[in-house]
């Protein structure tokens, strides 16, 4: 975060973990979607598909599963459960029927010859992009599942080479395509992920719920919750209340990561503490990374002993 003229912190959209918000992904991007839980994965994919359909992009989904119908149901259920704004009326079945969303099994797309060949696979993707543009689409969005590369199939030992070739292809001038490559960190080792990430232009992350340059509010997934970066004051407290109300509607307990909260006034703290009892329902609220000044405010106010509020690492 960098300070504004009034001394309050400002932040950039990409500063959380150095990753690009999914709504800012653009032509030429070839990014890692690294995840360790399905809600986060589908929150990102839901926004990616939502924006693509709205912009008349062809969506090509490369699935590590033979049954396209099962993939479509999994995708639809995952996006619905992720509570992504703007996806409430997203009709994936209609998008498939109209050809705007194409689900391609990996085994058919990449292993048709019985062997994975990086050059042939990149050429296949280039053909898919060219055909979609000829059909009149404004652009192409690709997303692929990658766990098949761990199965020891012939040629998959060259998967990093394939990703490097994709990165080079997406850097071509004037390309009207983008790609998100999905990596489940529960299957890939840290060393593998570090190597594969270097073959991409960066990482993608979930969109912020709110960012006005003074305060940024970002969803958390394990456990569910919100991360707050910046300042909670009279100009941003309403946004905090709105985000907490939305979170309370879908979670019986949640976490508030306050490690990036550089300023919070008493009204802001009251709003945060009140999240555990909004709507007349008692919820457990976990406060993570509480700054020293907020710990002092909690003790002075007596709110540190509220039964529904737990501070990580603090014994009662």
SS3 170: helix
Is residue 7 pLDDT above 50, yes or no?
Answer: no
SS3 19: coil
Q: What are phi and psi of 26, to 5 degrees?
A: -140, 175
Annotated domain spans of the chain? 17-205, 210-311
**pLDDT over 70, % of the chain:** 91
pLDDT digits (tens, 9 = 90+) for 186-217: 999 999 999 999 999 999 999 999 999 999 99
Mean pLDDT of the chain: 89
Any idea which fold 210-311 has? Transcription Regulator spoIIAA (3.30.750)
Any idea which fold 17-205 has? Rossmann fold (3.40.50)
SS3 215: strand
Query: Considering the entire predicted model, what is its pTM?
Result: 0.86
Angle between helices 190-197 and 159-170 (to 10 degrees): 30
Residue 230 Ramachandran class (φ > 0 left, ψ -120 to 50 alpha, else beta): left
pLDDT digits (tens, 9 = 90+) for 155-183: 999 999 999 999 999 999 999 999 999 99
- The overall longest dimension of the chain from CA atoms, in Å, is 70
pLDDT digits (tens, 9 = 90+) for 108-137: 888 888 899 999 999 999 999 999 999 999
Please compute the mean of the pLDDT values over residues 259-276 and round it to a whole number. Answer: 92
d(CA 148, CA 63): 9
Cβ–Cβ contacts within 10 Å for residue 135, how many?
9
Contact 61, 101 (CB under 8 A): yes
Strands (E), the chain: 2-3, 9-10, 20-21, 30-35, 57-63, 101-105, 139-145, 177-184, 204-205, 210-211, 215-221, 224-232, 253-264, 284-288, 309-311
């Amino acid at each position: 975060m960098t300070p504004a003229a009034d001394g309050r912190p400002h932040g950039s959209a990409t500063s959380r973990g150095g990753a690009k918000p999914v709504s800012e992904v653009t032509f030429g991007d070839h990014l890692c979607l690294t995840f360790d839980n399905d809600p986060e994965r589908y929150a990102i994919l839901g926004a990616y598909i939502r924006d693509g359909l709205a912009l008349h992009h062809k969506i090509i989904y490369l699935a590590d599963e033979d049954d396209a119908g099962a993939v479509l149901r999994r995708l639809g259920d995952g996006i619905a459960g992720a509570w992504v704004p703007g996806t409430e009326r997203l009709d994936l079945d209609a998008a498939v029927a109209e050809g705007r969303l194409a689900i391609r099994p990996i085994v058919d797309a990449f292993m048709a010859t019985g062997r994975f060949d990086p050059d042939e696979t990149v050429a296949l993707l280039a053909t898919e992009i060219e055909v979609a543009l000829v059909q009149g689409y404004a652009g192409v969005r690709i997303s692929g599942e990658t766990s098949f590369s761990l199965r020891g199939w012939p040629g998959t030992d060259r998967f990093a080479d394939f990703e490097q070739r994709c990165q080079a292809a997406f850097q071509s001038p004037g390309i009207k395509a983008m790609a998100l490559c999905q990596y489940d960190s529960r299957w890939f080792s840290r060393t593998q992920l570090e190597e594969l990430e270097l073959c991409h232009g960066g990482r993608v992350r979930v969109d912020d719920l709110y960012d006005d340059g003074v305060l940024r509010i970002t969803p958390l997934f394990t456990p569910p919750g919100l991360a707050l970066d910046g300042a909670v004051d009279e100009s941003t407290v309403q946004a905090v209340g709105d985000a907490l109300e939305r979170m309370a509607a879908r979670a019986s307990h949640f976490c508030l990561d306050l490690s990036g909260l550089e300023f919070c006034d008493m009204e802001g703290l009251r709003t945060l503490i009140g999240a555990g009892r909004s709507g007349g329902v008692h919820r457990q609220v976990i406060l993570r990374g509480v700054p020293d000044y907020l710990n002092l405010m909690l003790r002075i106010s007596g709110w540190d002993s509220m039964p529904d509020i737990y501070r990580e690492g603090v014994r009662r």
